[in-house]
Amino acid sequence: MKQQGWQIRVRGQVQGVGFRPFVWQLAQARGLRGTVCNDAEGVLIRFLGDPGDLVTALRTEAPPLARVDAVELSVAVFEAPPKGFEIAVSGGPGAQTRVTPDAATCPDCLSEVHDFGRRQGYAFTNCTHCGPRFTILESLPYDRARTTMAPFEMCPSCRAEYEDPHDRRFHAQPIACPVCGPRLWLEVGGAEVPGDAIALAAARLKAGEIVAIKGLGGFHLACDATNRFAVSELRARKGRPSKPLALMAREADLEKIVTVSAAALAALREPSAPIVLMPSRGALPASVAPGMVELGVMLPYTPLHHLLIEAFGGVLVMTSGNLSGEPQVIDNAEAREKLAPFAEAFVMHDRAIARRLDDSVVRADPPAVLRRARGQVPGTLPLPPGFERAPEVLACGGQMKAAQCLIKNGQALLGHHLGELDDALTWEAYLKADADYAALFDHHPKAVAVDLHPDFRATRHGGERAAREGLKLVAVQHHHAHLAACLGENLWPLDGGKVVGIVLDGLGLGPDGAVWGGEVLLGDYKGFRRHAWLKPAALIGGDRAQMEPWRNALVRLDAAGLGALANGLFPAAPRDIARQMAAKGVNAPLSSSAGRLFDAVAACLGLCAVKQSYEGEAAMRLEALARRAKAAPEVHLEDDGAEIDPAPLFRAIARGSDPAGLALAAHVALAEAFAARARALVESGAAHAVALTGGVFQNALLARLTVEKLDGCRVLQHRKIPANDGSLAFGQALVAAAKLERL
């Protein structure tokens, strides 16, 4: 006999977070009869009984890792009335729901690892509130059979927990124990070493050795952070002379090495467990982060890490396990092949990693995401008002810090950090991510958005896919995409009016064919006008100018009438040839790049003048130097109404003798010049707010100074996604969606 009841559809991040047992408990308390299951759209609840406050409870009492976007109540018809309430088998494949990011070990699981019991000392302990999610997921819906936990058959004890609605591991798909696995071992020279892997690894680390450790999203290379010989050896082996090394420490040890604010501590404790930048106390060897005033530190975020760092009893370097320029290693066999020259031993396990994810990097004061990866993806971003009916769009991102973005159902999925696409393995990872996200999220784009630069690999890939699948192709100017990304993150409405964007970054192709990078734009999602820009300078040698700061300094000094100073600062450089190239425009395109301007200032002050060992080194050292300044000489850049000329800054450098003060002056002068142009547009009524975006605004000092100079204006900044090219695809997707609405 048919009977009328109710159906509730819950959308959002509701799979892999203990939502079904949560619903079961709500139903039991209310005497409801029916079922709850995962399916392609999220969680589906069908029941008989009074819904009462169930809809409210689903929103307000949801599990810690859940993110509820919508709760939809409708009438349902039952062919036969259910006798009780149960968790039903999940629906078929497909994806209209969100996948949960990996989450750091919860307090309950950590206590269990430390206490006497069957999981004492077990490196893979997890529950519905923590543990691996995205790094083990192979397809949707999220069930054990569709994860890399599938090969590990549950033992009777785990099965009992898994099937007990009162247990916190009820339907916890990665549930594990020492009986059913995964297992951990220490390996040397390709052979397993008998004994406790954690104790053996800790002993080797204490002895100054380098150990490769398999984590959630890939391998790390670890060594004693207080041992300058071990740190130097790691740098020498990896060919990484000065790039800052990430650290892992217990919370109790943090104050020994960094100054910890309340905001930084809160960020460290987030389920995403990112690397957090904090002021250094100078207690560790300078070789950990040469020239920097901040250290990047994370807390242990898996039971394996907790056990290891407790056994070690100190602070560890925990840097990405990879060959220079390549993606992080994730496979055991690949690790033995590629990391053997770096590490004396390996901490291995037999749970496969479905996809590589680097550690996320954030700053807490002020809040900013520098690298969006493990723990933060595949979380989604809501689209701003006006984009509710946006079609499905794939945005391909840029060449550097590559990441893709998919728009669907009012949400944007901004993919994880991939890296530089010139590297063959990174390109392979990019192609895998393209197929991976499309399959996981059942994405069928109507359009593909790409950067305006035709030679970017991501641009070519997007064009080829659009042609192959008959999709609309939308080319988006690089800095317009940056502006749109900042607007979108701040939920600026589609019809919210124009905003002035201060867009400062490295390089991006302008619609005029020139290389942009220091711009004041007036626009919105639909279009923009360029109102002011940094006076262009030649990029002598093209791409080489990005890695050899003296080239940028030479051009800027010559333009300021200081050629003799350039000769004295860079006596060994091929100055004559460089000047001829600049004069004739041979492999020396003009660029308004703010990033290259900072490189030039750094070179003049003796920072990385000949060559940078990693991208952004000169600018990062310049910011660190400026933070040490007690005062700065007054410098005002010249402005003819459109071009902002930095020549006065270089004349001040020629007169000055305090490098720290001059470094600070560079930051103040740039902030003042661009803020003045933006303020004028706001005060004239042409713009309603100012957006700060582009990779140069990851410089916290510059961002703070610019905000101060914009006092009284509404300022939009990045908080949840990177200001750099890691968010470029999000902006591309929004611009494409806005344009498609008008077609």
671: its two tokens: 């902030």
**Predicted confidence band of residue 743 (pLDDT cuts 50, 70, 90):** very low
- Answer yes or no: is pLDDT of 94 > 50: no
Residue keyed to tokens 């069908």: 46
Tens of pLDDT, residue by residue over 417-437, are: 998 998 888 999 899 899 888
Q: Which residues contact 381 (CB under 8 A, 6 or more apart)?
A: 411, 412, 413, 414, 488, 489, 720, 721, 730
**Could you give the residue ranges of the DSSP H alpha helices within 345-444?**
424-440
Q: Which CATH number is associated with domain 534-716?
A: 3.30.420.40
In this structure, the chain runs to a length of 743
Please enumerate in sequence order all residues whose Cβ is within 8 A of that of 265, keeping only pairs 6 or more positions apart, or say none. Answer: 251, 254
pLDDT of residue 605: 97
CA dihedral 342, 347, 350, 355 (to 10 degrees): -50
Q: How far apart are CA 165 and CA 327, in angstroms?
A: 41
Q: Which CATH architecture has domain 184-362?
A: Alpha-Beta Complex (3.90)
pLDDT digits (tens, 9 = 90+) for 30-45: 999 999 988 878 899 9
Distance CA 222, CA 207 (A): 12
- Residue 210 has a pLDDT of 98
Residues with Cβ within 8 Å of 606's Cβ and at least 6 positions away in sequence, in order, are: 659
Amino acid in the structure at residue 574: P
Q: How far is CA 302 from the centre of its chain?
A: 19
- Render pLDDT for 573-587 as a digit per residue (tens, 0 to 9): 999 999 999 999 999
Rg (CA), the chain: 27
Q: Give the pLDDT confidence score for residue 15 in this predicted structure.
A: 79
Comparing C-alpha atoms, which of 379, 442, 435 is closest to residue 411? 379
Tens-place pLDDT, residues 321-348: 998 778 899 999 999 999 999 999 999 9
Q: Give tens-digit pLDDT for 358-374.
A: 999 999 988 999 999 99
Alpha-carbon gap, residue 380 to 413, rounded angstroms: 5
Into which CATH architecture does domain 3-87 fall?
2-Layer Sandwich (3.30)
Q: What fold does the segment set 379-490+722-742 form as a domain?
A: Nucleotidyltransferase; domain 5 (3.30.420)
Contact 65, 105 (CB under 8 A): no
Distant-in-sequence, close-in-space partners of 30: CB < 8 Å, separation ≥ 6: 49, 50, 52, 54
Place 99 in a pLDDT band, splitting at 50, 70 and 90. Answer: confident
β-sheet bridge partners, residue 508: 516
| % of the chain exceeding 90 in pLDDT | 84
Query: Which pLDDT value is given to residue 91?
Result: 60
Range of 44-53, 73-82, 132-141, 285-294 with top mean pLDDT: 285-294
Q: What distance in Å separates the CA atoms of residue 520 and residue 642, rounded to the nearest whole number?
A: 9
- For residue 443, the tally of other CB atoms under 10 A from its CB is 16
Q: Which of 632, 635, 619 is nearest to 659 (CA)?
A: 632
Whole-model pTM?
0.93
Q: Which residue has the higher pLDDT, 51 or 668?
A: 668
59 carries an active-site annotation: no
Give the confidence band of 742 by pLDDT, cuts at 50, 70, 90. low
pLDDT of residue 90: 67
Contacts of 680 (CB under 8 A, 6+ apart): none
How many C-beta neighbours within 10 Å does residue 12 have? 21
User: From CA 206, how far away is CA 80, in angstroms rounded?
Assistant: 66
User: What is the predicted pLDDT for the residue at 97?
Assistant: 52
Check: CB of residue 558 under 8 Å from CB of residue 507.
no
Q: How sure is the predictor about 95, in pLDDT bands with cuts at 50, 70 and 90?
A: very low
CA dihedral defined by 673, 678, 683, 687, rounded to 10 degrees? 170
CA distance 530 to 521: 5
Question: Where along the chain do the CATH 3.90.870.40 domains lie?
Answer: 184-362
Tokens representing 222 are: 């670890």
Query: What pLDDT shows up at residue 92?
Result: 54
Rounded distance between C-alpha atoms, residue 124 and residue 603, angstroms:
48
Mean pLDDT, the chain, rounded, equals 94
Tell me the three-class secondary structure of 245-272, residue by residue.
Answer: CCEECCHHHHHHHECCCHHHHHHHCCCC
Residue 156 preceded by cis peptide, ω within 30: no
pLDDT tens digits, 284-326:
999 999 999 999 999 999 999 999 999 999 999 999 999 877 8
- Residues forming CATH 3.30.70.100 domain(s) in the chain: 3-87
Task: Name the segment(s) of the chain with CATH classification 3.30.420.40.
Answer: 534-716
* Per-residue three-class SS string for 132-201: CCCCCECCCCCCHHHECCCCCCCCHHHHHHHCCCCCCCCCCCCCCECCCECCEEEEECCEEECCCHHHHH
Taking Cα atoms as reference points, which of 449, 493, 465 lies closest to residue 740?
449
Give the pLDDT of residue 156.
97
Catalytic residue among 38, 322, 490, 552: 38
Q: Give which of 354, 398, 352 is closest to 377, Cα–Cα.
A: 354
The three-state secondary structure class of 655 is helix
Active-site residue identified among 9, 11, 20, 59:
20
Query: CA 709 to CA 679: how far, in whole Å?
Result: 9
Residues of the chain with CATH 3.30.420.360: 379-490+722-742
Q: How far is CA 728 from CA 95, 272, 410, 521, 525, in A?
A: 24, 22, 18, 16, 13
User: Could you give the CA distance from residue 621 to residue 364 in angstroms, rounded to a whole number?
Assistant: 20
Is the CB of residue 382 less than 8 Å from the CB of residue 408? no
Does residue 727 carry a pLDDT above 60? yes
Report CA 71 to chain centroid distance, whole Å.
29
Which H, E and C letters describe 1-32, residue by residue?
Answer: CCEEEEEEEEEEECECCCHHHHHHHHHHHHCC
At 647 the pLDDT is 97
The confidence band for 157, taking pLDDT boundaries of 50, 70 and 90, is: very high
20 tagged catalytic: yes
